[in-house]
Amino acid sequence: MVHPNVFVVLSLCSSRANFSNAQTCIGDAFTAIKTTKETWFEAEAHRVAGEIEAKSGKPESAKIEACFASALAIARRLWRGQGKVQQARELLAPVYGWFTEGFDTCDLKEAKALLEELAA
């Protein structure tokens, strides 16, 4: 299990330009999510991964956007589960619309499927 304070450590690592440690730590967090099936911190892990990438020496905008899109998609799933379908769609649609490429990636395929589901 990943301790909730891992995100505090990640923030400190990225703010001190210790990206190698931050990337290792976020990688461990994603491994823990897959291994334990504990997903309560998954949205935050994606958001932090985007922040780390944004502050890295060679940030890739597509990777940053994909991280943030994943975080938002997870939040939307929560809203959908709570019956907040319209709010979820209003949050996802503009973000999905920002992308001009990468539609074959897993994250954007999931976002498209979720938008279609929310529209039904």
Q: Domains in the chain: how many in total?
A: 2
Mean local confidence (pLDDT), 81-108: 84
In whole angstroms, what is the distance from residue 81 CA to residue 16 CA? 38
| The predicted structure's pLDDT at residue 109 | 87
- Point out the domain boundary residue: 38, 59, 80: 59
- Do 110 and 80 sit in the same domain of this protein? yes
Residues 3 and 47 in one domain: yes
User: Is the same domain home to 52 and 65?
Assistant: no
pLDDT at 68 over 70: yes
Task: End-to-end CA distance of the chain: give it in Å, rounded.
Answer: 36
Are residues 2 and 43 located together in one domain of the fold? yes
Q: Convert 47-74 to b/e letters by CB count within 10 Å (16 or more is b).
A: bbbbbbbbebeeeeeebbbbbbbbbbbb
CB-facing half-sphere around the CA of 48: CA atoms within 13 A: 27
44 lies in which domain range? 1-59
- State the pLDDT at residue 7: 57
Residues 120 and 65 in one domain: yes
